[in-house]
Chains A and B, each alone.
Chain A
Amino acid sequence: MKIAISADGPNLEAKVGHKLGTSQYLAIVDVETGDFEAVPNPGASGQRGAGIQSVLLAVSKGVNTIVTGYCSPAIAGQLKASGIEVLTDVSGTVGEVIEKYKRGKLNAGIRAGVKSKSRWAKVDKGALVHATRSSTKQFINLLPILVGVVLLIGLFNTFVSKDFLSSIFSGNMALDTLWGACFGSIFAGNPINSYVIGGELLKYDVSLFAVTALIITWVTVGLVQLPAEIAALGRRFALLRNGFSFILSIPIAIITVVILNLIGRGVP
């Protein structure tokens, strides 16, 4: 039975963190064995997705109950769906909370979560409202860059000639695919942008080999996020993974188009 307490410091004397997502640490205690571990909270810097990062951390540590000062309804819902109970409105030090919890005397203001072994969240009105809000947020986040990309394509369609593109994408299958993979590796972000760019490039007679390689590497190879991947997963892993992904995009692009041609189906 593990409880996680949002804390301002890494020890038993630390105060309970005011907010789950942005507390400095999660103090994780196994109430049966007494094992104590203070894990830095990945969302402590307050960047986007701080709450979700705390949820992921709690799940990966096998936590059963979370004790904190405040937890947003959205994050409480995520925890509830994962079978994690949330006790909010709790104050004092980490040590005091552990003792009270063991004696069953923890006076939590709100029990935001109820243990549930169900993998699927129950679809009720609240879940639907929450999902619609999250989706609207996701959708709105997706739109600005998409609008920018479409405006850029408008310029591209007006000012760039087919001759110019032909000088880059010469019709050589291997070379075109390589160029497509290179472009996709440099750029990153939501894959929807790569579909729009790829779809428009096809209208300029750029080969489907190149466009497919661009779509694959857009997500699987990320030069922009390489420093973050190196910091999280190590230099060797990040470089090898990106390198392999780049190389593999070329045969995947070629095989995809060859199969498509063999079965006699082109793109619309």
Chain B
Amino acid sequence: MNTESSKSKNVRPVTRMVLFPAAMLVIYGILFAVMPEKASLALKSSGNIFLNMLIPLCLVFVLMILLNIFLKPAQIARFLGKGAGIKGILLPAAAGIISTGPIYVWYPLLQDLREKGAGNSPIAIFLYNRAVKPFLLPVMIAYFGWVYVVILTILTVLGSIAIGYSLNALTKEEERL
């Protein structure tokens, strides 16, 4: 957290967010001056990508609203802290899938859960399942098709369980040594 905090103090999040697109605009500006034909080709290509993404992005926004109505970070936190056995796998997996926002917001909670005795397994399962983002599915499906998305999602959830078990087993092994 210290690293993140000091970063945040040095560079404002808004500045950080616009730095990359601003740099791109500068590059485009230079290109338009030096080789206008190539620059307009590049801009046209970017425009086409945006047009293709327009409908999926609208769906993303609608899904975001629905998830924000029905799910709150605090409820996700409750998911994470509870359950043993199969619940101890499914609840952190569900929490990871429905969690939103940058990961550093979640680190203090994960740290606290660890201090309260939570094992490595639910924390690892939570972090791995952040790769599955329901509200971004329209964009993913637009690019890769729903069959691919379903297969990858199932394998990601299964993979998270494997990571959780491996980390748990390894940590227990170390404790014994």
Contacts and interface: CB of A to CB of B under 8 A. Distances in A.
Interface of A: 42, 45, 47-49, 52-53, 55-61, 77-79, 81-82, 84, 119-121, 123, 127-128, 130-132, 134-135, 138-139, 141, 144-145, 147-148, 150-155, 157-159, 190-192, 195-196, 198-200, 202, 212, 215-216, 218-220, 222, 225, 227-229, 231-234, 236-237, 240-241, 244-245, 248, 252, 255-256, 259-260, 263, 265-268
A42 B108 CA distance: 7
Contact of B3 (A79, A153, A228): A228
Given A192-B60, A232-B1, 8 more contacts: A119-B75, A145-B21, A153-B49, A154-B46, A158-B41, A228-B107, A229-B103, A260-B147
A147 B50 CA distance: 8
Q: How large is the interface on B (under 10, 10 to 19, 20 to 34, 35 or more residues)?
A: 35 or more
Contacts of B3: 227-228, 231
Interface string B22-49: 0111011001000000100111111101
B18 interface: yes
Contacts of B102: 48-49
Interface string B139-156: 110111101100110011
A192 B101 contact: no
Nearest to B24: A151
Contact of B74 (A56, A132, A216, A219): A56
Best-surrounded residue of A198, A219, A222, A260 (most CB of chain B within 10 A): A219
Contacts of A42: 1, 108
A265 B148 contact: yes
Given A123-B69, A144-B20, A195 B140 contact: yes
Contacts of A48: 8, 13, 102, 105
Contacts of A81: 72, 74-75
List the 8 closest A-B pairs by CB distance, nearest first.
A154-B46, A199-B143, A42-B108, A148-B21, A232-B107, A131-B68, A82-B74, A135-B64
A128 B68 CA distance: 9
A252 B156 contact: yes
B32 to A, nearest CB: 12
Nearest to A128: B69
B9 to A, nearest CB: 7
B70 A228 contact: no
A262 to B, nearest CB: 10
A259 B151 contact: yes
Contact of B73 (A55, A147, A233, A245): A55
Contacts of A192: 60, 136, 139
B151 to A, nearest CB: 5
Interface in B1-25: 1-5, 8-9, 13, 17-18, 20-21, 23-25
Nearest to A244: B163
A153 B4 CA distance: 28
Contacts of B5: 45, 47
B103 A151 contact: no
A59 B74 contact: yes
A120 B74 CA distance: 12
B172 interface: no
Contacts of A58: 74
Contacts of A240: 167, 170
A220 B163 CA distance: 11
Contacts of B28: 151, 155
Contact of A267 (B77, B104, B143): B143
17 contacts: A42-B108, A56-B106, A60-B77, A60-B112, A61-B112, A128-B69, A139-B61, A139-B64, A191-B131, A196-B143, A220-B127, A220-B130, A228-B103, A240-B167, A244-B124, A260-B147, A263-B147
Contacts of B44: 154
Contact of A191 (B101, B104, B127, B136): B136
Best-surrounded residue of B31, B74, B116, B139 (most CB of chain A within 10 A): B74
B1 A153 contact: no
A268 B131 CA distance: 22
A198 B140 CA distance: 10
